[in-house]
């Protein structure tokens, strides 16, 4: 990275030599948000870059390995861009930016990983993709009629798809959002749950409700559900329909059979977008049934209008330990295909 080409107008490089690098952050409000409460963000940056940062007013003096010093500047630059776009900074952003800047360093790419074109603007918040793979996914969601996303939990498959669906609705690009999941038990039996069919199904749709509430708020979502503008239903309810002028998401698609996914895909109507998300490593189907998710991606791979995104443990955006857990399971499965030692 050429630090003389730092993209943010808020950063001014003061001095760089063999011992340290110093730079100035011009805006006090931006500075306070970047360093965090009790300098918590600053300490995290020191930790992951293996540097020592001294703050003197608005001046930062960074000591450490040359590449690590440059990483500090680019992290700061991207955090400023994140704050400018979303008016918020999250601790997880620091690790995400650090990982991406390591990949970009070989290309000497000084540009911010947070651009306004990547922003997903909803009523309650602005969402930005937090990795290169997420940026590719968001771009696919905006520009392809059918998107298939495979990968472990925590990679943003569902949340980003729901966020883009909400923006399409707010911008009148579609008239309806339809969210669906297979009604498959994971250690429970639907027959033992109390209530009518809706009461039995709703617990399996909670992640979809949660994403909607975070993006639009409880009252707006309830009103749009009552008006039929947002529909949340089990996959079986899609049969026989033509879904037009809609943004349609099938979540947990690893629990759908080949026939069910084919049925879902053939519901596509005019001016609609379909998203199929799933984690092939977490299939809850009965042993007599096989997941149709992976096979479907192979069958459709040569259709240019359909985009497939494959996430892995490197794309997990939850607690760092989750990524390690996913990788450990993947490594074990490669060594022991049958899951037996």
Measured distance CA(309)–CA(143) in Å, rounded:
13
DSSP β-bridge partners for residue 248: 178, 274
Domain 3-114 - what CATH class?
A: alpha beta
- For domain 120-316+325-335, say whether CATH 2.40.100.10 is its number: no
Give the residue range(s) of CATH 3.40.50.300 domains in the chain.
120-316+325-335
DSSP β-bridge partners for residue 276: 148, 250
Give the residue range(s) of CATH 3.30.1370.10 domains in the chain.
3-114
Percent of residues, the chain, with pLDDT higher than 90: 40
pTM of this prediction? 0.70
DSSP 93-160: HHHHHHHHHHHHHTTT--S-S--GGG-EE-SS-EE---SHHHHHHHHHHHH-SEEEEE--TTSSHHHH
Report the first-to-last Cα separation within the chain, whole angstroms: 46
pLDDT at 183: 74
Q: For residue range 222-243, list pLDDT tens digits in order.
A: 999 999 999 988 898 899 999 9
Q: For residue range 84-135, list pLDDT tens digits in order.
A: 777 778 777 787 777 766 655 544 444 555 555 667 878 777 787 877 888 8
Cα distances (angstroms) measured from residue 66 to each of 20, 112, 117: 8, 20, 31
């Amino acid at each position: 990275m050429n630090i003389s080409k730092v993209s943010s107008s808020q950063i001014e490089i003061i001095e760089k030599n063999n011992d340290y690098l110093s730079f100035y952050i011009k805006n006090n409000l931006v500075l306070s948000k970047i360093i965090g409460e009790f300098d918590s963000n600053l300490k995290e940056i020191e930790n992951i870059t293996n540097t020592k940062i001294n703050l003197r007013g608005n001046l930062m003096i960074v000591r450490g390995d040359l590449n690590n010093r440059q990483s500090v500047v680019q992290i700061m630059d991207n955090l400023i861009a994140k704050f400018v776009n979303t008016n918020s900074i999250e601790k997880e952003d620091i690790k995400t930016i650090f990982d991406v800047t390591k990949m970009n360093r070989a290309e000497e790419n000084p540009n911010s990983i947070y651009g306004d074109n990547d922003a997903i603007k909803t009523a309650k918040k602005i969402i930005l993709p937090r990795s290169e793979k997420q940026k590719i996914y968001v771009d696919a969601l905006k520009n392809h009629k059918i998107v298939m996303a495979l990968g472990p939990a925590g990679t943003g498959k569902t949340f980003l798809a729901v966020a883009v669906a909400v923006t399409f609705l707010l911008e009148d690009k579609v008239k309806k959002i339809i969210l669906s999941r297979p009604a498959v038990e994971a250690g429970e039996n639907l027959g033992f749950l109390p209530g009518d069919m809706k009461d039995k199904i709703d617990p399996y749709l909670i992640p979809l409700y949660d994403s909607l509430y975070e993006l639009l708020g409880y009252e707006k979502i309830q009103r749009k559900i009552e008006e039929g503008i947002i529909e949340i239903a089990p996959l079986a309810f899609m049969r026989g329909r033509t879904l037009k002028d809609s943004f349609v998401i099938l979540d947990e698609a690893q629990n759908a059979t080949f026939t069910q996914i084919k049925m879902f895909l053939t519901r596509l109507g005019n001016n609609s977008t379909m998203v199929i998300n799933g984690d092939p490593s977490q299939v809850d189907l009965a042993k007599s049934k096989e997941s149709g998710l992976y096979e479907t991606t192979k069958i459709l791979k040569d259709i240019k209008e359909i985009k497939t995104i494959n996430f892995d443990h490197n794309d997990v955006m939850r607690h760092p330990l989750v990524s390690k857990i996913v990788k450990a399971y993947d490594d074990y499965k490669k060594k022991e295909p049958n899951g037996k030692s």
